[in-house]
């Protein structure tokens, strides 16, 4: 009898833990393509900045020749600048599409 109680409790607890994984998602990235694109652009920006830091570190450690360093630095700075420009353009577009919330407008009277 005790074994049956433990088994029922274990199965119930396991179902309770797995329940969030079995539910349908409320948020779908396809419904918000601009937000998904913005997230991807921020990831690309971070990669470009990380690469620039790595290139600078490798040059200071003597692993890169000066010519290679300057070429790589110029290429990744241009890439980072392009991505930052795309981010700014997308953020401006999102800001212009945003619907302003009314402030200080008429207050609804309570129903009696």
| 3-60 tens-digit pLDDT | 888 888 898 888 888 887 777 665 555 556 777 888 899 999 999 999 999 999 999 9
- How confident is the model at residue 110, as a pLDDT? 56
Per-state percent for the chain, helix, strand, coil, to nearest 5: 75, 0, 25
| 55-109 tens-digit pLDDT | 999 999 999 999 999 999 999 999 999 999 999 998 888 888 766 555 555 555 5
Contacts of 49 (CB under 8 A, 6+ apart): 80
Sign of the Cα pseudo-torsion (82, 83, 86, 91, in order): negative
Cα–Cα distance for residue pair 63/59, rounded to 1 Å: 6
């Amino acid at each position: 009898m005790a074994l049956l109680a433990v088994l029922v409790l274990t199965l119930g607890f396991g179902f309770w833990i797995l329940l969030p994984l079995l539910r349908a998602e409320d948020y779908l990235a396809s419904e918000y393509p601009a937000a998904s694109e913005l997230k991807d652009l921020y990831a690309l920006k971070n990669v470009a900045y990380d690469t620039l830091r790595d290139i600078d570190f490798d040059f200071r450690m003597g692993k890169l020749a000066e010519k290679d360093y300057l070429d790589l630095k110029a290429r990744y700075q241009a890439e980072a600048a392009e991505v930052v420009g795309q981010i700014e353009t997308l953020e401006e577009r999102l800001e212009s599409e945003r619907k302003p919330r009314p402030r200080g407008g008429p207050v609804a009277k309570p129903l009696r």
